[in-house]
Structure 1
């Protein structure tokens, strides 16, 4: 019976995943929707053995989260992303809780709902940013930074819920003591035990994989048994114990397919646990209210916070619109709450439906973000500080025959060193507050703002420039910049950066002097090195040493 149930589960999952893929939606939407159909129409009943398989999927998901969570990632979050993430969690959860109480939910269910509405999907964000090649853009970095803060907070909630339902203060004192002991054990395993084990077994890739999966499941069982936490936290901590290994990337890549197999079951079962047959009319108004909250109110909260952090309206808008959905952690939280009997199936149904609609809507919002911004730009000015000079005082320069450098992160930073060394007259346009603070401290001329804004380009005196160099790769922004540049009487040199060859051709058609495509540039450079140094290893090593020194000088 279990075999036929699993066959039906995966058949439906595959069907709805194909539909989701064709509609350019996250596959999670297809899995959950398939579960809704199977459970809602009584096609399949929930079996405890299949439920156990779903728990394995969540445990492996958190195992990979822990495995890929290097301490250096936490250090890289940065003050801005941490502050943004912290206040976003506080503000959104409070308003979500109040809205839930208005709809008549109890205190405990309201807390679950509030946190579920607060979290945004890291998986969806990374997928969409990757598709648009925006992972290294300013708004991409801010988004990933604050989503990491959310993930850490979600882990803390799961740890807290690991104790189950208890009112005795002594129980929680005991729980804290166990948590401290568990963290000490994790530290010992990560620093002392696991490096020794993998030094012995790493010669066999198959053995390393089998050991890693076994370790994830065994450690989860130990954490859920003697320590009294849940399996999910066990999986996360098992991943942490392996995260410092040099092989952790290899382990993660091998584990993902197995994780995805079990996660399909989890999301299917989550959809099945949402009861569509009883009282849908009772949750219709809350469903509409919470969906409106996630799609509109949550982004407005984030826009407000980012305004006070000094970001320009376009960056704030792109970050906010990308978070207008709930997270896979929201689903895990609902599943755990139902298991602990803190909430009922009606609340699960409500959050699952909110998750489906917000994931679908947010995907389209993100894909058409530039078009939406174009129509809303003038109304978004309230989310931008009117007097930038109050935040970043800047001297007004009378530029002439100068270079305009757009973007001063990574590539732009290297060009900055070149301009200063050769005493070139230049001005930087950037809308990253941290970059602008650095430029101000070095007394480097800058204009704080979005380079696709004609007024910002005018402030940089584009009409008098002898060259413009754009290190940003957003095609729409570069087209606007190039269009403004072409309006000047003296049309000097224009150098742009493009993510793809197609984008580069579009910029050339618009009149760009030269377009750099990083992938093509890298292959051309490698070809040059091979032609020059293939027969002389010693000369190549000398060149490599000089390159190393230059790289170190720019860190």
Structure 2
């Protein structure tokens, strides 16, 4: 027994590692890779060993399987669901909902009211039963929190306007998904009394846990947090306690784990807990996604083809279109609306959890399960490429998006452009490097216009009466409609090769005499930008290393200068810290004003 468990885990993790390395090399998300690994281990090997030549070559019988203890693997995968949702709860900051409260709450609800009935009706037309159609309607509704957050983080767009809108909508979707889990877990005994009893029981447990999370847990964790080992054990215990009590109450274990994470997520120790628990999460989550692939059945592949194609069009085309429409109706321009919506065209990990629960409860069959898994793998991979080339796609289709610009019900006032002041320098991106450049230019008496896609930054400069405007350098329409006389110097601190080349091409057409300084992340990228006509390319790590080496050389040669340099550095850091705190205080209500 022990040997078979070790063998099963060895096979799963070796195959998952190989496939994960391949998908990572091609810069795909790892979740589809784990599912593909499960397909190879499960149905792939099963059907392969039905070929007589393969049977003779490998010396196996028909239907041979490497995994002998599937029930134990499925049990591990259920624990994986719990840890996955526990981490999701830990990472959710409820306070963030206030920053995008209108478009995220109302927009998320509108998306539900449109997409769920649409998915349900299409599934019903395809011949699925009422309960199966409900599941399909829920599956197509939710977008992947993990995939979208990863793409935003990789592209450094978490704090952009479209990044915040996307995160806000995802938070609403996560709460709706948990509510869907609660409802669907009790659909097997559909009676009005049973349903009301389950809801009341759920709210009672939530209320008890909320009180415990507000009063008891902070007191306990204040002592526990002194030891990193105790912190890990205590956090894991909270996850299992919440999971067990919800299961004992006849409710979903996944909901209990999520609420446990949510309670700890709003504690001062959530970052440390996430760092400690992530190892367990990754272990069990890998088993969960691999087990999903193992359970796919390809008995009627041609019968699945038409429903799969229809649902792919619904997720990849209709869902982004509906999201674009909703965001535009809330008054946002077509560029941030497009960037938000294009990343939403995939199936969520919550959908996989919900569909796995439905299969375990016997509410759906393997056919629906297989369609959902294939839908998730295909849409996640396609979305990765859509987000990667989002600026090029927008450049080609932006004329067709003008109708969404006309739908905006209110105009955004995110600019300060005094008529009597002519910009001598145009500064794109006022991050850490941009702040230093801005301070130097102002000291030199230059008239600077700041362009940034962080609403907090622009609001701060508007309050300071510094000429500024909200905009994205990668938006060709924004560059065309800027309607400013080309300044003598244009500086970009945004490390985006496509956006930098777009800026270079635009400026060349308007005024070839302007000096252009752009930024890059690598030497090949910098050389490519020089080739395209950049007057200078900022390489932060190169300049930073050069500056530090010169400073250390001077300090070693003249040791008396080091205290002066230290004092100057501390003063600069404190000034920047104060600026950051002022910007942070203005976060609430900014999106509302947009």
Q: Fold match, TM over 0.5?
A: yes
Q: Note if contact 1:35-1:268 (Cα within 8 Å) is conserved in structure 2.
A: yes
CA RMSD of superposed structures (Å): 3.9
Asked if 1:140 corresponds to 2:163, the answer is yes
- Offset of residue 515 of structure 1: 4.9
Q: TM-score, normalised by structure 1?
A: 0.85
Alignment of structure 1 residues 98-497 onto 2, 5 Å: 98-163=121-186, 165-225=188-248, 227-277=249-299, 279-385=300-406, 400=422, 402-406=424-428, 451-452=473-474, 456-470=478-492, 472-489=494-511, 491-497=513-519
The 1:254–1:510 alpha-carbon spacing in structure 2 relative to 1, beyond 3 Å, is: same
Structure 1 counterpart of 2:33: 30
| Local SS of the residue matching 2:262 | helix
Deviates more, 1:82-91 or 1:27-36: 82-91
- Offset of residue 220 of structure 1: 0.9
| Local SS of the residue matching 1:404 | strand
Equivalent residue for 1:51, pick from 60, 67, 74: 74
| Local SS of the residue matching 2:490 | strand
- Offset of residue 494 of structure 1: 3.8
| Local SS of the residue matching 2:352 | helix
The 1:207–1:493 alpha-carbon spacing in structure 2 relative to 1, beyond 3 Å, is: same
The 1:550–1:453 alpha-carbon spacing in structure 2 relative to 1, beyond 3 Å, is: closer
CA separation in 1, counterparts of 2:523 and 2:260? 43
The 1:173–1:27 alpha-carbon spacing in structure 2 relative to 1, beyond 3 Å, is: same
- Offset of residue 236 of structure 1: 1.2
The 1:482–1:424 alpha-carbon spacing in structure 2 relative to 1, beyond 3 Å, is: same
Q: TM-score, normalised by structure 2?
A: 0.80
The 1:312–1:46 alpha-carbon spacing in structure 2 relative to 1, beyond 3 Å, is: farther
Q: Note if contact 2:425-2:490 (Cα within 8 Å) is conserved in structure 1.
A: yes
The 1:110–1:518 alpha-carbon spacing in structure 2 relative to 1, beyond 3 Å, is: farther
- Offset of residue 252 of structure 1: 1.0
CA separation in 1, counterparts of 2:198 and 2:459? 44
| Local SS of the residue matching 1:311 | coil
Unaligned runs of 5+ in 1: none
- Offset of residue 121 of structure 1: 1.4
**1:447-498 Cα deviation digits (max 9, x unpaired):** 7765456664454344442333445443212222222223444734444454
| Local SS of the residue matching 2:426 | strand
Deviates more, 1:312-321 or 1:356-365: 312-321
- Offset of residue 528 of structure 1: 9.7
Equivalent residue for 2:20, pick from 8, 17, 20: 17
Asked if 1:89 corresponds to 2:112, the answer is yes
CA separation in 2, counterparts of 1:540 and 1:484? 38
CA separation in 1, counterparts of 2:161 and 2:567? 40
Deviates more, 1:172-181 or 1:337-346: 172-181
- Offset of residue 439 of structure 1: 8.9
Q: Note if contact 2:427-2:450 (Cα within 8 Å) is conserved in structure 1.
A: yes
- Offset of residue 543 of structure 1: 6.2
Q: Note if contact 2:160-2:454 (Cα within 8 Å) is conserved in structure 1.
A: no
**1:503-554 Cα deviation digits (max 9, x unpaired):** 4554455444555556667778888999666589888766665554444444
Q: Note if contact 1:479-1:507 (Cα within 8 Å) is conserved in structure 2.
A: yes
| Local SS of the residue matching 2:190 | coil
CA separation in 2, counterparts of 1:410 and 1:543? 11
- Offset of residue 289 of structure 1: 0.7
The 1:436–1:383 alpha-carbon spacing in structure 2 relative to 1, beyond 3 Å, is: farther
Q: Note if contact 1:134-1:140 (Cα within 8 Å) is conserved in structure 2.
A: yes
Unaligned runs of 5+ in 2: 47-62, 556-560, 586-594
Deviates more, 1:40-49 or 1:22-31: 40-49
**1:319-366 Cα deviation digits (max 9, x unpaired):** 222222111111101011112222122111111111122122222222
CA separation in 1, counterparts of 2:451 and 2:574? 33
CA separation in 1, counterparts of 2:122 and 2:320? 16
CA separation in 1, counterparts of 2:536 and 2:106? 39
Aligned length: 553
CA separation in 2, counterparts of 1:445 and 1:378? 29
CA separation in 1, counterparts of 2:420 and 2:263? 58
- Offset of residue 241 of structure 1: 3.1
CA separation in 2, counterparts of 1:196 and 1:393? 43
**1:366-422 Cα deviation digits (max 9, x unpaired):** 223333333333333333338999666999958755443546799889999999999
| Local SS of the residue matching 1:246 | coil
